[in-house]
Structure 1
Amino acid sequence: MSARVFGVVQGVGFRYRTMGKAGELGLTGEVQNLADGSVDLVAEGPDARVRQLLDWLNSGGAPGRVERVEHSFSDAEGTFGDFTAR
């Protein structure tokens, strides 16, 4: 899954909490801040667990204030060894 998260999501621990949640779910990928104040992430793993991460992003459990999440699903490429913040 590729996702872009909009709202107040920088300077609030969003990347590190997302890394922790992805780790709990056994996902690989990366999360990074973008210059426009949004956050970009890629998550790979079992479909049900990727969807759990997406649900968490939209639940109010993520830090900051998520206004919207734009996402798309594609086949995993297997390029990540773990889940990191950039």
Structure 2
Amino acid sequence: MEKTSAINKTAWEYRAYEFWNQRDGSPADKAKAIRNDPKASLKKHQHLFKEVTGKKNCQSLRIERAQSGSAGVTRC
């Protein structure tokens, strides 16, 4: 099974970066597009995110806790 997994991994990764660059542009270009319209990158899941203005994600919560010196684990 391990050999099959390695073969599948290689097949999936083969020229994937090249494909994404050709389809989406550079990583910086893709990041800019996502920042400009985050919902567009969700495609078929957009309907699950009606209103997210003002909501915080896990990463921002962890940063806030670290900066405030709060101990504990942030659960998301």
Settle same-fold status: TM greater than 0.5.
no
Q: Under TM normalisation by the shorter chain, which class is it? A: under 0.3
TM-score for the superposition, normalised by structure 1: 0.22
Q: Highest relative contact order (Cα 8 Å, sep 6+), 1 or 2?
A: 1
| TM-score, normalization by structure 2 | 0.24
Larger Rg: 2
Q: Which has the higher strand share?
A: 1
